[in-house]
Every structure is written in structure tokens, then in C-alpha cells.
């Protein structure tokens, strides 16, 4: 199910990024990972900690390019 469908229009761009984190297309996942800071800012510190971080743990795959991009994003802080 898409996060973006039925979401408040102010949060729609963030919802699209979250949907892209689950996408089969590696380029869409990489694009969204590079924008984790945007997602975290929109969610706020509490929701980032309680929702985004567990979500990232669930969707982590073993594609090296995705894992490296995620590690870089986390190294620089996502919020």
C-alpha cells in the first residue's frame, strides 16, 4: 500500500519519498535515502526515532549501493 495515497497534501512529497524507500527500482531507493534529512525534518525528532528508524531497519536489503548510501546518510545525521 502506498503511503502517499490519501495523505495530507503538505506531507505528500515526504510520503512519496517514503514510498520510494520501498520501491524495487534501486535508483528511486537511492534518491529517497539521500533525502532522509527531509523526511526526518518533516516527521520531527520523535516520529523519526519511533517510526522512521524502525522502518529503515525493516526495509534494509543487502544491495551494497543502498546500504552504503544509507550508512552515509546516517553518518551525517538524518535529522
For residue 27, the model assigns a pLDDT of 92
Give the three-state DSSP class for 71: helix
Average pLDDT over residues 9-23: 83
Give the confidence band of 62 by pLDDT, cuts at 50, 70, 90: low
Output the nine-digit C-alpha cell for 34: 539521500
Cα(12)–Cα(41) distance, integer angstroms: 14
Give the confidence band of 46 by pLDDT, cuts at 50, 70, 90: very high
State the chain's mean pLDDT as an integer.
Answer: 83
Average pLDDT over residues 31-57: 88
Stronger pLDDT, 4 or 52, i.e. the higher one: 52
Please answer whether residues 19 and 35 qualify as being in contact, where contact means their C-beta atoms are separated by less than 8 angstroms: no
Amino acid at each position: 500500500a502506498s503511503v502517499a495515497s490519501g495523505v495530507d497534501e503538505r506531507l505528500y512529497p515526504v510520503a512519496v519519498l517514503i514510498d520510494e524507500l520501498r520501491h524495487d527500482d534501486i535508483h528511486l531507493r537511492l534518491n529517497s535515502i539521500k533525502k532522509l534529512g527531509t523526511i526526518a525534518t518533516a516527521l520531527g525528532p520523535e516520529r523519526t526515532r519511533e517510526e522512521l528508524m524502525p522502518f529503515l531497519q525493516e526495509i534494509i536489503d543487502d544491495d551494497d549501493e543502498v546500504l552504503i548510501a544509507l550508512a552515509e546518510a546516517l553518518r551525517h545525521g538524518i535529522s
